[in-house]
Amino acid sequence: MQERIVEFVRGLRAGGVVVSTAEGLDAFAAVGLLGVQDRTLFRESLRATLIKRESDFEVFDELFPLYFSTDDLPLHNALDDLTADEQGMLQEALSGFDDRLSQLLEWLTSGEGPTDEELQRLMQSSGIRWAESPASAVWVTRRMLQQMGFTQLEDKLQELGQRLRELGMSDQSAMRIMGVIETNRDELGQFVSQQVRYEISKRRAERPRDIHGSDLTQKSFQALSAADMDALRREIRRLVTQLRTRAALRRKKEHKGQFSARQTIRQNQRYGGVPVELKFRKKKLKPDIVLIFDVSNSMQTMLEFLLYFVLEMQDQVSRLRSFAFYDNLGEVSDIVNNAHHSEVGKLFQKIQKAIPGYLFRTNLGYSLDTFFSHHLSAVRGNSTVIIIGDGRNNYADPRLDLVKDLQRRSKKLIWFTPESQQIWGSGDSDMDKYALVCDEVYLVRNLAQLSQAIDRAFV
């Protein structure tokens, strides 16, 4: 139990909850005094000693059942009330399905679910290594259940019932088996979901902390509370200072530019071709940036921090043009360039009001068409174009032809996306197609990732 409590504390910290060593020791003392037999009392003792902010209750309530629920899968054995002949009929009926469905039905009728090794194998093949937040558990669980055959189970149950009756089993026994299978199906689905969320939490806790900041910098933008936002607004000042320092060091290191063989040979013709004087190409270290960003409401938190970085890094770029889109696109360079960092919290709504359209639904394809019709001159051969968005178009034309043209016209095309690669292409997502025509794609789900992406892009 002590080891599990230690894991739980790590999970809380990875979720953005600040837990000191002293508070962890208080938790051990409380559990030692009150015991673990009464689950409610055990839960409250941990909550009282480990949680000191109301905003952290949600994380605690989410993680507690994952770390302290029973590991047993409560499945029923469908064979218990069957005669020897009926058990033989069931085994014969199950043998007629393919391997995947046969394995699933075996789990659901025998009362013995998948082993830990089988669950781990299914998690790995379902992409759990790409899952970076609790929100990712939904798609990992869905893919696991699909691999196990859950999507085909409903139709196959009717087929199984028909086979059992053809083999001579009574309706009463067949219906009892169907009832056990359906009950076990629900239990197994819930168990898989819980195990996935527990595994993601453990992996997140074991992941090395980012060198740039606190645990909160690793917390998903979507999971930030008001208190978290306040703390990160203070943290971002330190990150900006680091980015500016690195930019200055790069300029100092590369002030001569790159060696130019052509200019050196030409300059040294008077010396018989001996390279007495070396020539270097002049290098513009300050980038020319064109931002094209999504201002749908789901992007608000991420954009607030992005705009703070942009405002503080303006002297590190030679030129900055900003364009915002929702169902259409408009230029917002004046709003962004003339804002003060203290106004960042109000910029999002101001930008939304400045773009044409009715904020109905995201349509990047149409917005790109507007950009090419009215603002294409913003992109030069030395421009770095950065698109910020999830790549979802509500099933409208993604206009890949325009994205390819942007990539061709610019120095490089970079994309910042808040969605993990494993769900690109799902539903109305065109991110899998956009990624193929970009020079670089960065996942930006938290402040640490955003800081790293800006550091690499603003070069």
Q: In terms of Cα–Cα distance, which of 418, 449, 316, 329 is closest to 378?
A: 329
Q: Is the dihedral of CA 67, 72, 74, 75 positive or negative?
A: positive
**What total of structural domains would you count in the chain?**
4
The residue from 69, 96, 123 where one domain ends is 69
Read off the DSSP letter of residue 429.
B
Q: Are residues 226 and 316 in the same domain?
A: yes
Q: Are residues 266 and 338 in the same domain?
A: no
The whole-angstrom separation of Cα 392 and Cα 389 is: 8
User: For position 367, which CATH number holds?
Assistant: 3.40.50.410
Q: Are residues 227 and 331 in the same domain?
A: yes
* Confidence label for 17 from pLDDT (cuts 50, 70 and 90): confident
Token pair in block for residue 336: 């962004």
SS3 helix, strand, coil % of the chain, rounded to 5? 60, 10, 30
Q: What is the pLDDT of residue 169?
A: 86
Let me know if residue 401 belongs to a domain.
Answer: yes
Enclosing domain of residue 167: 84-206
Q: What is the pLDDT of residue 211?
A: 37
* Confidence label for 213 from pLDDT (cuts 50, 70 and 90): very low
Q: What is the pLDDT of residue 109?
A: 85
Token pair in block for residue 352: 């939304």
Q: Are residues 272 and 158 in the same domain?
A: no
Let me know if residue 212 belongs to a domain.
Answer: no
Let me know if residue 150 belongs to a domain.
Answer: yes
Let me know if residue 451 belongs to a domain.
Answer: yes
Q: Are residues 168 and 273 in the same domain?
A: no
Let me know if residue 300 belongs to a domain.
Answer: yes
Comparing 451 with 413, which gets the higher pLDDT? 413
Q: Are residues 232 and 195 in the same domain?
A: no
Q: What is the pLDDT of residues 236-293, one digit of tens each?
A: 877 777 777 776 666 665 545 555 666 766 776 776 666 656 666 555 567 899 999 9
Q: What is the pLDDT of residues 95-111, one digit of tens each?
A: 878 788 888 888 888 88
Q: What is the pLDDT of residues 83-97, one digit of tens each?
A: 888 888 888 888 878
Q: What is the pLDDT of residue 94?
A: 81
* Confidence label for 336 from pLDDT (cuts 50, 70 and 90): very high
Q: Are residues 353 and 311 in the same domain?
A: yes
- Mean pLDDT over 443-448 rounds to 87
Q: Are residues 401 and 436 in the same domain?
A: yes
Q: Where are the beta strands (DSSP E) in 197-345?
A: 258-259, 280-281, 288-294, 319-325, 329-331
- Mean pLDDT over 352-360 rounds to 82
Q: Are residues 153 and 200 in the same domain?
A: yes
Let me know if residue 48 belongs to a domain.
Answer: yes
- Mean pLDDT over 70-89 rounds to 79
- Mean pLDDT over 33-59 rounds to 84
The secondary structure of 156-209, three-state, reads: HHHHHHHHHHHCCCCHHHHHHHHHHHHHHHHHHHHHHHHHHHHHHHHHHHHCCC
Q: Are residues 110 and 159 in the same domain?
A: yes
Q: Are residues 12 and 156 in the same domain?
A: no
Let me know if residue 295 belongs to a domain.
Answer: yes
Q: Are residues 357 and 402 in the same domain?
A: yes
Let me know if residue 213 belongs to a domain.
Answer: no
Model-level pTM?
Answer: 0.52
- Round the average pLDDT of the chain to a whole number and report it: 83
The answer to whether residue 210 scores a pLDDT higher than 50 is no
